[in-house]
Chains A and B, each alone.
Chain A
Amino acid sequence: MSISVQLEDFDIKAETEKVTAGRTDIGALVTFTGLARDHAGTKTVEAMELEHYPGMTERELERIEKEAHERWQLQASRIIHRYGPLHPGEQIVLVITASAHRKDAFEAAEFLMDWLKTKAPFWKKETGPSGTHWVDAKVSDDEAAARWQK
């Protein structure tokens, strides 16, 4: 289990290798990468800024990761979330889950992203041709997270 909140970009291959290094018991490895899009609905996005709550962000990601390990049979996991200025095409978030079997790895990765999107204290500010605005939370994200409620 490992989380990072960082300004810098990440290397998916290097992170994957760190998760699997020296292990032969992993049968399924799922990686999810979130990228900055150049549009939000019909609006063009030229750049974005991700603000976060230092301290709480790390604690919240650790709580979410721990929850995933309690719910699924995971051998390893890795979460990286960036903050600061980002441009379309750049990587924002990485989730890696490793398990003996694919079902646990797939479901845990989806759970981690759904919970992260509704619980981790990050806020996006987008800049486009008509100016800068804070992104509103999506009802669909709440609904996606709600299906994991026990």
Chain B
Amino acid sequence: MKILYFASLKEKIGRSEEDIDCPPGAQTVGDLLGWLQARGEGYAHAFEDTALIKAAVDQEHATLDAPIAGAREIAFFPPVTGG
């Protein structure tokens, strides 16, 4: 699946997207986030405060308990600040 990062998360991780195989046992957005946190310093820093992480599954807002089975694109980003 494709993982996308935006804004401050993109800068902390040092990339805007990557392709990964769904980690074994990961069923929800939160499971995936936990797996990503352990991938390295940049990831740990980016995902430090999970209360400030928003996610989208296939371009729709999703909560951390949303299932990821069959998802093609999962995005992580800080709370939005447009308008």
Contact = CB atoms under 8 A, between A and B. Distances in A.
B77 A123 contact: yes
A122 B82 contact: yes
Contacts of A60: 59, 61
A59 interface: yes
A52 B81 contact: no
Contacts of B78: 123, 134, 137
Given A51-B6, A56-B59, A123-B6, A116 B83 contact: yes
Interface string B39-60: 0000000000000000010011
Interface string A109-136: 0000100111111111100000000111
Interface in A41-63: 50-53, 55-56, 59-60
Contacts of A125: 7
Given A60-B59, A117-B82, A121-B77, 14 more contacts: A56-B56, A59-B59, A81-B83, A92-B83, A117-B80, A120-B80, A120-B82, A121-B6, A122-B83, A123-B81, A123-B82, A134-B7, A134-B8, A135-B81
26 contacts: A53-B59, A53-B75, A55-B59, A59-B60, A92-B83, A93-B83, A113-B83, A116-B82, A116-B83, A117-B82, A117-B83, A119-B61, A119-B80, A120-B82, A121-B6, A121-B82, A122-B82, A123-B8, A123-B77, A124-B82, A125-B7, A134-B8, A136-B81, A137-B78, A137-B81, A138-B81
